[in-house]
Amino acid sequence: MIDTEKQFELLKEVLRRANKQEKQDYGKLGKKQLAILEKSTAIMKEWHSLSDNDKRSECPKDLSIGASIEWNTQCIVRNTEQISKANQLIELITEFFALEYEAKWLLLSIALRTQPSLTRYLQ
């Protein structure tokens, strides 16, 4: 495994050798990943808020049947919202890693095209 410093140097060198279109493509991938991270953070905050509301709303002991049904309905709605947020996060994580995969293949294609003098970073 290459240490982090060498990885960064290799990345800089590969991007230095990239043509204009490759640099633009790599930049677009990074911007898309950043947007996904921002969306994920917002969704996580919403999910935590729902979780906090769940913790604060323990079922009172002496509820009438109607109040108990209403309280349970509110819990089901909150839980459904939490599941929805979790599904959104799973979709975003999947999209993020697909972009990561695409970025690595782009970098690999640049490295292979300009390969001869990049081997020094692997030592």
In contact, 118 and 18? CB cutoff 8 Å: no
Would you say residue 12 lies in a domain?
no
Q: What is the mean pLDDT of residues 92-115?
A: 92
Structural domain tally of the chain?
1
What pLDDT is recorded for position 55? Answer: 67
Give the SS3 label for residue 60.
coil
In contact, 85 and 47? CB cutoff 8 Å: yes
Residue-number span of the structural domain to which 30 is assigned: 18-57+64-122
Would you say residue 94 lies in a domain?
yes
Would you say residue 46 lies in a domain?
yes
Would you say residue 7 lies in a domain?
no
CA dist 108 and 117 (Å) reads: 14
Which residue did the predictor score with more confidence, 34 or 4? Answer: 34
Would you say residue 68 lies in a domain?
yes
CA dist 111 and 26 (Å) reads: 13
pLDDT for 15-67, tens place per residue? 998 999 999 999 999 999 999 999 999 999 999 888 877 667 777 778 888 88
